[in-house]
Structure 1
């Protein structure tokens, strides 16, 4: 008989070895503004990568910003220890933004990294101030630094110019950079003037045990067809395109309904469109849904629609395909790398006419021939978090043995490539950060900082009696 036992134990087991063949356990810190209880592609990526590394015997903690009253240290059910550090945030229409504090975050981050005996700091998303500051301080402390980027940015707009300058500063001294698609690798290599040989493409994956179909057969011709869209109603996600094509599809296909899960500034325009065309019983607005409810939303549909104007790697269509849905998406960024075109997804130009044509082709030629179970099994073969974790772990181990530490003078000299004036400013900031760190080492020696005991995660084990 199988008995489920909840056990907590102290373990030092790992799947990697050091140079002498002894087992090696890595202590890793994931750092980003984006983590639970927020939801999105970055949050799920950090969660799944951390879970996989813990299962492989490594120690993983997460440092993120506070969410409302969620501050301090929390433990997730899979054993991840999360530090919610208190920072000042500004609420915007696209979400909350963290102000850069640069040096003032060093004492707290230094204390955490020393207490947890961290060896590798892995930052996520170039728009995260906590990530950028964490990598700066980690380099000052002599730790190995990794970075994973999740978004594409331009070269000519004001926001892109500033982000590109920050990326060149932050990424110039990291040990390795991970991109989630080849399109993003090209984009980031150009934006941040990176050496392409220290950049690796490791795509996202999907938890196929959570995102799985409920239907076992294609939809019947006599049942109503449900089209699902799960994205924020903002310009960047193509909310204007979505609003413009819904009336066209509803007029041509009376048996088609829409399910919209998302919230944002364009919700008012969406509501006005529904009222103007009297589509109250054809368009269902669910509002913003927590990430754990997204599978149940996708499982209600037959066809998935993505109208994003920019995507580095579209997790939404991958999750939809895992739930057995055929997908229609704009052909932007790294979307073409996710699923085979004209097979599991139809790609269209980001304009209303092309999207309507793709939707018509999907409804008439693909949806009624798509087997949900077969589609789910194909996604299981193509994407697996274990493979992603194994590739990431291999980069960690390689960096521990090959990447050499660089002195302060050598680091400052390397910043000249960032720009004549910008490089001098960055060199000054790095020098001040180093001096501040040495002052903290003198005033608060690391020998006086208590080290956290390394408890293993909570696991559910099946034991045969």
Structure 2
């Protein structure tokens, strides 16, 4: 198949969506398909840079999400490119600019379009005039309008599928969690990372890695640090990532008196995240807004246990303490972290990981998407 993926977010932007798309592209190509990325320009990418099978269209920063971009031109150019490539299917990955262009291209070429719904927008309404302009009802209407005329929807988790059904979405919805490229996590391990970060080999380290923004609830972890450092001598929290609330969290760490126990690393390239997961004794996330949470399964894949917020997806993923624990409140989070760290350094045993890694692998992800494409194309040709 010739597959066109339309997205506003792609590397070198660092996000779960960009990682998911790159993983999908590689997995489908390994299965023998041709994958073409239609995306936005990026200040970090020169027009002279060679990016095979990647087509970029003029864009500007998105309002309130200035590290994300939207296109302002490219509708007809994208259509001409898609005709030359003889696309068999369009797969949109955004509900904004490139998503609408992808839908137009599919209609013009008389081919089916499916969509992956990555973001639970009701958790992000505070970014637009502090939540005073957009309400949940607007999200429902916008979502139904965008998904109209699509032939299928990929939901990364049951939570996403249930939400879409509550919106009144009638298209077929397949739950297909994003997989991870195990080789990328395991092939570029930097064993000297602790030394580079000024940490001793026996320093207790907890890691959180994400976009630094309020919906990730990193402040909940910071608030627990005074009590955690009293319980675990020498404990260090590594906060990896960048985002609009970085300065706010740095100030909060100072106000809480734990600045010396918290290291803000900044953005970490995808090639290096495996080293950070492996370096940590425990991965922690207090976010309650994740549609799936790639960082959880990345940490698990490197053998690092997790303590994460309880939800439909995380409760199924961490179904035994050998992988990690979930929590529902501040005290429970504190206690689970202390319990794991007091047990001493302990990675997930390989025999526990084998079946789980097959379930969350990029190969499995690609095969499930491929099957969904084939079903959608067959149904479209019959209609």
Q: Does TM, normalized by the shorter one, top 0.5? A: yes
For 1:52 and 1:75, locate their aligned partners in 2 and report how far apart those are by CA, in whole Å: 21
Match for residue 196 of structure 2?
none
Shift of residue 74, structure 1, vs aligned partner: 5.8
* Separation of aligned partners in 1, 2:352 and 2:9: 30
Aligned length: 364
- Contact kept? 1:341, 1:347, Cα under 8 Å: no
1:173 aligns with 2:141: no
Q: Is the 2:281–2:304 contact (alpha carbons within 8 Å) kept by the matching residues of 1? A: yes
Instruction: Return closer, same or farther for 1:401/1:88 CA change in 2, 3 Å cut-off.
Output: same
CA 1:97–1:341 in 2, change beyond 3 Å: closer, same or farther?
farther
Equivalent residue number for residue 366 of structure 2: 389
**Other-structure match for 1:88:** 60
Paired residue for 2:294?
315
What does the per-residue CA deviation read over 1:370-409, in whole Å, with 9 as the maximum and x for residues that have no partner?
4454455454233221122112112222222222487xxx
**Partner-residue secondary structure (3-state), 2:174:** strand
Match status 1:358 vs 2:324: no
Shift in Å, 1:358 = 2.4
1:320-345 Cα shifts (integer Å, max 9, x gaps): 11111110001146333333243312
1:291 deviates by 1.8
Cα distance per residue 1:80-127 (max 9 Å; x no partner): 51001112324645633426x5xx54212211111211121101133x
Residue 141 (structure 1) aligned with residue 117 (structure 2): no
Give 1:139 deviation, angstroms: 2.2
Matched, 1:150 2:127: no
Aligned to 1:288: 267
- Mapping 1:253-292, distance limit 5 Å: 253-292=232-271
Q: Does residue 1:242 correspond to 2:221, yes or no?
A: yes
Question: Equivalent residue for 1:106?
Answer: 75
Q: Give unpaired runs (5+ residues) of structure 2.
A: 126-130, 192-200
SS at match of 2:185: coil
CA distance 1:294–1:372, shift in 2 (3 Å): farther
Q: Of the two, which has the highest radius of gyration?
A: 1
State the partner residue of 2:28: 53
Give distance in 1, aligned partners of 2:76 and 2:43: 23
**Residue in structure 1 matched with residue 197 of structure 2 by the alignment:** none
Residue 283 of structure 2 corresponds to 304
Given that 2:29 and 2:35 are in contact with CA atoms closer than 8 Å, whether structure 1 keeps it comes out as yes
SS, match of residue 143 in structure 1: coil
The aligned runs of 1:66-465 (5 Å cut-off) are 66-68=41-43, 70=45, 75-76=50-51, 80-90=52-62, 92=64, 95-98=67-70, 105-126=74-95, 128-154=96-122, 158=134, 160-191=136-167, 193-195=168-170, 198-212=172-186, 223-332=202-311, 334-349=313-328, 351-365=329-343, 368-371=345-348, 373-374=350-351, 376-404=353-381
Asked if structure 2 preserves the Cα contact closer than 8 Å seen for 1:181 and 1:337, the reply is no
Aligned 8 A contact 1:311 1:334 in 2: no
- Whether the 8 Å contact between 1:73 and 1:84 is mirrored in structure 2 is no
SS at 1:334 equivalent: helix
Structure 2: how far apart are the matches of 1:214 and 1:90? 35
RMSD: 2.7
Greater relative contact order (CA < 8 Å, ≥ 6 in sequence): 1
| SS, match of residue 151 in structure 1 | coil
Mapped partners of 2:66, 2:324: distance in 1: 28
Asked if structure 2 preserves the Cα contact closer than 8 Å seen for 1:314 and 1:338, the reply is no
User: Which string of whole-angstrom CA distances, capped at 9 and with x for unpartnered residues, describes residues 39-75 of structure 1?
Assistant: 2221111112111222222221000000016365865
Q: TM-score, normalised by structure 1?
A: 0.71
- 1:29 Cα offset (Å): 0.3
Structure 1: runs of 5+ lacking an equivalent: 1-25, 216-221, 407-465
